[in-house]
Amino acid sequence: MDSVLELNQAVKDYGSRVIGPLSFSVGRGEVVGLLGPNGSGKSTSIRMALGLARPTTGEVRLMGMDPYRQHSRALVGVGYSPELPNLQTFMTPAELLTLVGRELSLKRSEIDAQTPKVLENVGLLAYRDYRIGKLSKGMVQRLSVAQAMMGSPSLLILDEPMIGIDPAGVVHFRSIFREFVSGGGTIIMSSHIMSEVENLCSSVAVVHSGKLVFRGGISDFIESSLNSRLILVEVRTPSPALVEKLRVIPGVRSVTATEGSLAITAEKGTDLRSEISSAVVAMDAGLLSIGYSRSEIDEAYVAAIRGSG
């Protein structure tokens, strides 16, 4: 897999604190969640990737180039949406995207074609002539993503893209990003919303206290961070006999029954969903659903941060 971004022992020394050394890469077609608490080094990593901060030591390569020394060339095909977009409040969304298009050296015909398409894509076409200063926080966030998508980039770097977005907008943005990746794009997304990371990302890079504490797939992240896995089972007719049958499955630590559902704690390194499903079917309990707890990635994140000191 071709790398669109590589950090090789990159260090940024601010004097009062040091970020790094950081070494990880992002392959073409990946959706990578950049995770970490406030002040961990996520923003510095993004700034070094965009050539807005020069690493004190080590190197950064964006599209195979040094984004600091070859800034204009390296950022061709890169769209960036910051966490706190500071957009010109006196302009309209259409005017802003026109300005962005000009900065990208797009032809007038390309700007005229892309502007309404991008605004419609993020749900702002009806507000194209409103002053940005009159838009809500969520709308401004949508516009920030819209300007990042001008020029048909191949890489999107998104810093907290879902902040202020309503639930319907979140669902819509998921489909936008998935479509972008299915078309060959790559996304690096910083977020504190673990459910969105799990929904969208294929892998994560976790940074804490300026150090990389994990880089890999989400399932591997959960597996390596947690000492056990929580499996939730929904059944039509739970019974004490079913609970006892599940408890004796090798690898099961505990079974907690509530009305219509079972919470099963399984040992680390095991995947007992097949055995559990077979047991439920054998007891004719009416299996409705089975899966790992949706809160596991939150728990894994907390465990990884605590484990790294």
Q: Please give the structure tokens belonging to residue 81.
A: 């949406």
Same domain? For 101 and 207 the reply is: yes
Q: Are residues 163 and 253 in the same domain?
A: no
Both 239 and 215 in one domain: the answer is no
- Is the same domain home to 164 and 267? no
Pick from 11, 79, 82: nearest CA to 45: 11
- What percent of the chain shows pLDDT beyond 90? 69
Q: Are residues 283 and 248 in the same domain?
A: yes
The residue out of 203, 222, 241 marking a domain boundary is 222
Q: What is the mean pLDDT of residues 100-116?
A: 95
Non-local (6+) Cβ contacts of 230 within 8 A are 263, 264, 265, 266, 292, 293, 295, 296
Beta bridge partners of 230: 265
CATH number for the domain that contains residue 303: 3.30.70.100
Instruction: Give the torsion sign (CA, 273, 275, 281, 284).
Output: negative
**In the structure encoding, which two tokens stand for residue 122, read together?**
């993020």
Identify whether residues 36 and 165 lie together within a single domain: yes
Q: Please write down the long-range contacts of 166-175, taking CB distance under 8 Å and 24 or more positions apart.
A: 166/138, 169/123, 169/138, 169/142, 170/196, 172/123, 173/122, 173/145, 174/199, 174/200
pLDDT computed for residue 80 by the predictor: 95
As a whole number, mean pLDDT of residues 233-252 equals 92
Taking phi over 0 as left and psi of -120 to 50 as alpha, with beta for the rest, 29 belongs to left
Residue numbers of the domain that contains 294? 226-307
- Among 68, 150, 171, smallest CA distance to 102 is for 150
The answer to whether the CB of 77 falls within 8 A of the CB of 104 is: no
* Model pLDDT, residue 298: 87
pLDDT at residue 227 tops 90: no
Total number of domains in the chain = 2
Give tens-digit pLDDT for 154-208. 999 999 888 878 888 888 899 999 999 999 999 999 988 888 888 899 999 999 9
DSSP of 77-119: TEEEE-SS----TTS-HHHHHHHHHHHTT--HHHHHHHHHHHH
Instruction: Give the pairing of strands 261-267 and 186-190.
Output: unpaired
Exposed, middle or buried, 298 (CB in 10 Å: 0-12/13-18/19+)?
A: middle
Asked if residue 209 and residue 275 are part of one domain, the reply reads no
Is there a single domain that holds both residue 256 and residue 150? no
Over the chain, what is the mean pLDDT? 91
d(CA 309, CA 304) in angstroms, rounded, equals 9
pTM equals 0.84
pLDDT at residue 259 greater than cutoff 90: no
Decide which of 307 and 207 is more confident.
Answer: 207
Residues facing 232 on adjacent strands:
263, 291
